[in-house]
Amino acid sequence: MRPPLKLRNIGLDDCIACDMCGRRAFYIEPTELGYVLRCVSCSLANRKGIEMAIGKRKGGSGAITPLLKYDARSGVFYKCDRVQHGGVWSTEQTNVTTNFAATFDFDSLQVGWIAFTGGVPEFLMFPLGSDIGEAPSDKHKQGFRLLVKLAGGGGLREFSSTAAATWDAVDALHSAYEAEKGARPGKLPFVKLAEVRAEKGPMGTVFTPDFKIESWVVRPAELPLPTTEVEVALEELLK
């Protein structure tokens, strides 16, 4: 089976919904019955051979990529996992600030509007460089989202934030990535947390992470890119 193609690589609307779960589609994938749209989570589950024996549930949530969260009020990184105890599901947060390291996939970086209002966050995201328009509500704040792979067995994570301090840190890291990526074809930055700086602002003290590119690594299997062959085939299909 051919690998998937990122929607952004062929200029499609970045707000198309996943055929499997209804979240924002990120890939077009070939199947035996044709092409389907999938979000990052459903695409990864498909490539790992994870299948639902009774098929798709209408309006189901599908597989969810676990989160990496940064609390700018305390300067702490958490990996967040859904766990079950006594038949009850809850989110377990584990502090991963000490010796924090991860591979950042800036090809997945999106910017746009995010509303953290309790429960499932609301995203209206666009490819980097797009006009994101106006906030859809007064609850939405400008933010970013991208995929990272945590070191030490932390696995694939979705990292998003609306905090200005976190935005500035990721922006600085992205600038360093852009400056060096031309000399590192096919590789991604392996990033470490150099320090967390306490800074006083009008809303009180915030903690800004300082990221440093430690090395460059071959793209992990969890963060695949489409091949030129697939890009050409799908461009022909969608003409």
List the end-to-end C-alpha distance of the chain, in Å, as a whole number: 22
**pTM value surpassing 0.85:** no
Q: How would you write the pLDDT of the chain (239 residues) with one tens digit per residue?
A: 444 444 444 344 444 556 555 555 655 665 555 556 666 556 555 544 444 444 444 444 445 789 999 999 999 999 999 898 888 888 899 999 999 999 999 999 999 999 987 667 888 888 888 889 999 899 999 999 999 999 999 999 999 999 999 999 999 999 999 999 999 998 999 999 999 999 987 878 999 999 999 999 999 988 876 444 444 444 555 55
